[in-house]
Structure 1
Amino acid sequence: MVTSEEVARLAGVSRTTVSRVLSGSGRISEEVRQRVLEAAASLGYEPNVVAQSMVRQRSRTIALGLFHVEEGLSFSRLGETKHHFYLDVLKYIEEEAANAGYDLLQPSRPLGRTPESYVRTLQTRQVAGAVMLALSSTDPRIPALVQAHIPTVFIDAVGQGPGATYVKGDHVSGARQVTEHLLALGHKRMAFFVGPSSNMFGMERLFGAQQALASAGRSLDPSLVRQSGWNMQQAYEAAAQLLSERRDFTAIIAGSDLMAIGILRALRERGLHVPEDVSLSGFDDLELASYTDPGLTTVRQDRVAMGRGAIQLLLRLIQGEQHLAPLILPTQLIARQSTGPAPSV
């Protein structure tokens, strides 16, 4: 069995320092703390005090994980347009946590060397639980947290176990609603801009569109499905490429409002009018969707319920409830001026 003395020797510190780091007490520099945690991780050291603290005395701190681990410092990337949707979600996470008497903690090094070291960091900090926001489906922190039995709620990522569950919008229904809206306006050929192929929710939205088309006796044209990143520039570039190839469609369904704004620019640069020549819709209903010209038809996701609901589920997990069902939030079509009747041929 690995001892704290071995950890101290590898980290180049005293056993007292190891004890202080692993108990979360005392003033320890970040550099020393990281050396001790990495030494403990590399040796596989599991101090009993951590396990005892997790069972007997939860702190009033909730760990917050943001986005995919490879993105680096998460807070510095909140200004990126692809993350704009989550700014309000974070606001309501913070408000609900504060109302319940909890503080939020975002570790400065999200993963360290391994997902196990990330989990150990949370255990060392004696967090009560964790909220993980918009991780990629391949993020190794998802199975690590589920297996460690740290109470965890994932937002726009799927992770489930006795002490873990997730919150997300009903992407399939939302995409089905907007596709049915365009079909009712007489549109027969629609282009679809989805996110990266690895993003499960972008694929759910495409599936919802396929459902609506199938119900109307129509099929999806694979050549009119285009992938891009979630931000305006990447969607603009993907739309410019599509428009250079063909213009035999009368509507575009974008995977997000920000993508739709990029597509709107590409359409205008080529002399196409929205909605007279091409109808355009987004997804999310960001505040700016009502300020575009024309106002953007979109699908509303309830960001208030997403943030507050995640904390409410987490508190139930912290209190010992297990195997909680995920919270699937309804979505709502918001029809504005960017969609109209299909142009006559």
Structure 2
Amino acid sequence: MKIKIKDIAKAAGYSPATVSRILNEDPTLSVTSETKQHVLQVAHEMGYWQNKANPKLVAQVGFLNCINSEDHLADNYFTTLNQAIYAAFADTGIRLISFDNPRDLMDHAQELQAIVGVGTDGLSNVDLAMLHRAFPIGVYLDSNPAPEYFDSIEPNLAYTIRSAYQLLHQADKQTIAFLGGEGLLVNGKLEPDIREKTFRQLVVDDQLIIAQGPFNVENGYRLGKKFLQRFPHYLPDAIIVASDTLSVGILQAFNEAGILVPRDIALISINDSEVAQYVSAPLTTYHIDQLAMGKLACQLIQTALTANEARPHIHALVDTQLVVRKSFIPPKENNK
């Protein structure tokens, strides 16, 4: 049965004209956020958007950004991810409202229909459960701190590490090392980083793995110095670095020591940030399509808000794509 404006108006207790203006996002309409929330909730429960070919959903979604402020400034990845998320939700009828901590978000719970989350800094299991009770509909990007509560969209970093390792082996790089940072802090505990975890499945020699500290240039420099101290007489054939930000610092340490990439050691990085093409040597790196991640998050929110029944949580992995520059050129590229 087709749900009409007058049906929603009767159920919500407002005039059809007011309901129509709310559902069509009339910018000249002056109503409280509670009124708007109530009408949207009634429309959702009655299935107003269901079976519409191209539903123009009108909703407010909380954007919970729990990234450590120092890490956010030091690692451009999160800046560009936030920009991509806002770009993905633009012109969809869904308005993102940003919050830095779950308590502030909960203070506005009555005004919001769902949440999008990035980062886990300061989040506890209690916080995540509280958020789920208030917002059954939610999507986390770049991490998956509560798969039992929310959908998630992440770059396929396990695939990325295996792909990089295979490419280096095909280029006859026999000794391959890994440099990375710490994993996520969830409920006060550090979770293993998937890049390091995947690499350890491929390489059992602990001497070839250094993973510690934050994902910033300064720590990359420290990792580079420690790596060179660990291998004073010979270098591994190649290294896989967990992020471009770390790679910048590692290259600084290498340059100081007179180590040239790729002459002395090959390097593959991850992220394809803007700086990757300007360092020396320009980084061969895996591109993470953040806009695609944001668009998938938007689609999940839209379908969940317009559906009339619950569905299992969805956890999506977005594959990365190799961008070849000078720090490592695969043999097939050399033959072109």
SS of the equivalent of 1:283 reads strand
Structure-2-length-normalised TM-score: 0.72
State the 1:313 CA deviation: 0.9
The equivalent of 1:205 in structure 2 is: 195
Residue of 79, 82, 87 corresponding to 1:90: 82
Matched, 1:237 2:222: yes
Matched, 1:225 2:209: yes
Residue of 73, 80, 92 corresponding to 1:80: 73
The 1:318–1:138 alpha-carbon spacing in structure 2 relative to 1, beyond 3 Å, is: same
Q: Which ranges of structure 2 fall in alignment gaps of 5 or more residues?
A: 1-30, 45-57, 332-336
Per-residue CA deviations over 1:230-276 (Å, capped at 9, x if unaligned) read 11111111221221232432222111011011100101100111111
Alignment of 1:64-143 (within 5 A): 64-68=63-67, 71=68, 80-82=73-75, 84-107=76-99, 110-112=101-103, 118=104, 120-124=106-110, 126-136=111-121, 139-140=124-125, 141-143=127-129
The equivalent of 2:62 in structure 1 is: 63
SS of the equivalent of 2:240 reads strand
The equivalent of 2:181 in structure 1 is: 195
Residues 109 and 134, structure 2, Cα contact 8 Å, conserved in 1? no
Cα distance between partner residues in 2 of 1:182 and 1:138? 38
Residues 119 and 148, structure 1, Cα contact 8 Å, conserved in 2? no
Percent identity between the two aligned chains: 21
State the 1:341 CA deviation: 8.6
Matched, 1:332 2:331: no
SS of the equivalent of 1:99 reads coil
State the AA in 2 paired with 1:239.
G
Cα distance between partner residues in 2 of 1:56 and 1:302? 36
Per-residue CA deviations over 1:276-307 (Å, capped at 9, x if unaligned) read 11111211111221222222011121111011
The 1:98–1:78 alpha-carbon spacing in structure 2 relative to 1, beyond 3 Å, is: farther
Alignment of 1:1-345 (within 5 A): 25=32, 55-56=41-42, 60-68=59-67, 71=68, 80-82=73-75, 84-107=76-99, 110-112=101-103, 118=104, 120-124=106-110, 126-136=111-121, 139-140=124-125, 141-158=127-144, 159-161=146-148, 164-198=150-184, 203-211=193-201, 213=202, 219-226=203-210, 227-247=212-232, 248=234, 249-320=236-307, 321-339=310-328
The 1:160–1:341 alpha-carbon spacing in structure 2 relative to 1, beyond 3 Å, is: closer
Cα distance between partner residues in 2 of 1:282 and 1:274? 12
Cα distance between partner residues in 2 of 1:243 and 1:156? 31
State the AA in 2 paired with 1:67.
C
Residues 137 and 198, structure 1, Cα contact 8 Å, conserved in 2? no
State the AA in 1 paired with 2:276.
A
State the 1:161 CA deviation: 4.2
Residues 161 and 323, structure 1, Cα contact 8 Å, conserved in 2? no
State the 1:54 CA deviation: 8.4
State the 1:119 CA deviation: 5.8
State the 1:338 CA deviation: 0.5
Cα distance between partner residues in 2 of 1:183 and 1:293? 23
The 1:138–1:91 alpha-carbon spacing in structure 2 relative to 1, beyond 3 Å, is: closer
SS of the equivalent of 2:172 reads coil
State the 1:78 CA deviation: 7.8
* Alpha-carbon RMSD: 3.2
State the AA in 2 paired with 1:233.
E
Cα distance between partner residues in 1 of 2:269 and 2:84? 23
SS of the equivalent of 1:295 reads coil
Residues 89 and 294, structure 2, Cα contact 8 Å, conserved in 1? no
State the 1:336 CA deviation: 1.9
Residues 196 and 228, structure 1, Cα contact 8 Å, conserved in 2? yes
The equivalent of 2:50 in structure 1 is: none
Per-residue CA deviations over 1:195-216 (Å, capped at 9, x if unaligned) read 21446896322243345x4xxx
Residues 275 and 338, structure 1, Cα contact 8 Å, conserved in 2? yes
State the AA in 2 paired with 1:177.
S
State the 1:55 CA deviation: 4.3
Residues 240 and 269, structure 2, Cα contact 8 Å, conserved in 1? yes
State the 1:95 CA deviation: 2.5
Cα distance between partner residues in 1 of 2:311 and 2:330? 50
Cα distance between partner residues in 1 of 2:300 and 2:121? 21
The 1:52–1:153 alpha-carbon spacing in structure 2 relative to 1, beyond 3 Å, is: same
Cα distance between partner residues in 2 of 1:173 and 1:255? 13
